[in-house]
Amino acid sequence: MLSSPQGFVAPSWLDAIAKVQLGHWPTPLERLPRLTKELSGPQLWVKRDDCSGLATGGNKTRKLEFLLADAINKGADTIVTYGAVQSNHARQTAAACAKLGLECHLLLSQRVDWKHASYNNNGNVLFNKLFGANIHILALDEFEQRQADILTDLAAQNKRVYQIPPGGSNALGALGYVMCLAELEWQCKEMMMSLDQIIHASASSATQAGLIFGAGALGSKVDILGINVFHPDPSTLTSRIEKLLGQMSAQFPDSKTSSDLPININHAYFGEAYGKPSQAGLDAIKMVAELEGLLFDPVYSGKALAALIDQINLGNFSQHENVILLHTGGAASLSAYVDAF
């Protein structure tokens, strides 16, 4: 059962902010009947932002619609952005730049200790090459100097550079997930179901901040649980979300949303480190691939999937009728992690 793509109208204050069309919206809200039966818990759903339509999809497409509109309005001809070597954000940025005719530079840090040849050559790296992006793979200890050199070189070429932070995570990019929350509210209303619980992978902060801000703007009572997959200290993620909510409240006063909103983080599924697959995540990926024919990645949504399964087994979602897993994409990186399987 999928939601109808017709009839959704964004809040007027949000619709007034410039964006470029990059994705296919609204993304489907899909029931997971076999997983629901297997776990004997509440009704499970997946919000398919892996089907957002740009270069195998993912959550960054929503953010890039706002960010690249801003870049174009400011006269930029070159985009510089950042991430790890297998960054899903970098891949979607490269694809968006190809679509819009913008030069793209990806500064990718070697922050993940995954010593397999496929990691540096396959998955998102391969896609970035196909999109014609300029790829700079940099060791962490040389990153700042090389970044400065690249920006200086682009300035010397009279390039009009627009920088996008890792994950597209700033106040403007976070609006993409205000839009997502509004979509979910509309889809649930159309399907006559309650919007009780959202669970998702949380890393660079803007996806969770956008969902929280959107819930505040719409007066939604949905519980939003972010599964920390990036920060060794989860308090860092909480602080980043708090800061972003404050910036959004100040920057978008027409939303009439305060920055004093609940932030819920779970750190139990982080595993060994960012970018390192966990056994629970790998098991969850294989389980849902076999039960529902869906693909998840071992860095982001796979760990959120493991959290969903475990939380249901623990009975922590038993008070809810419906639980929605936000699939933020990432299956493009599976071939880079073939050795994990």
Full DSSP string of 169-225: -SHHHHHHHHHHHHHHHHHHHHTT----EEEEEESSSHHHHHHHHHHHHHT---EEE
Cα-flanking dihedrals φ and ψ of residue 155, to 5°? -65, -40
| Amino acid identity for residue 39 in this structure | L
134-138, strands of its sheet edge to edge: 134-138, 103-109, 78-84, 161-164
User: Active site residue: 87, 169, 278, 301, which one?
Assistant: 87
**Bridge partner residues of 278 (DSSP):** none
| 242-245 own/partner pairs: CB under 8 Å, 24+ apart | 244/169, 244/170, 244/171, 244/174, 244/205, 244/206, 244/209, 245/209, 245/212, 245/213
Q: Is 87 noted as a catalytic residue in this protein? A: yes
Q: Cβ contacts of residue 148 below 8 Å, gap of 6+?
A: none
Rg (CA), the chain: 19
Q: In the chain, what is the straight-line distance between the N-terminal and C-terminal CA atoms, in Å?
A: 31
Full DSSP string of 128-174: HHHTT-EEEEE-GGGHHHHHHHHHHHHHHTT--EEEE-GGG-SHHHH
SS3 call for 307: helix
SS3 call for 238: helix
Measured distance CA(301)–CA(134) in Å, rounded:
27
Place of tokens 């919206």: 25
Report which DSSP code applies to 277.
Answer: P
**Bridge partner residues of 80 (DSSP):** 105, 163
> Catalytic residues, which ones?
87
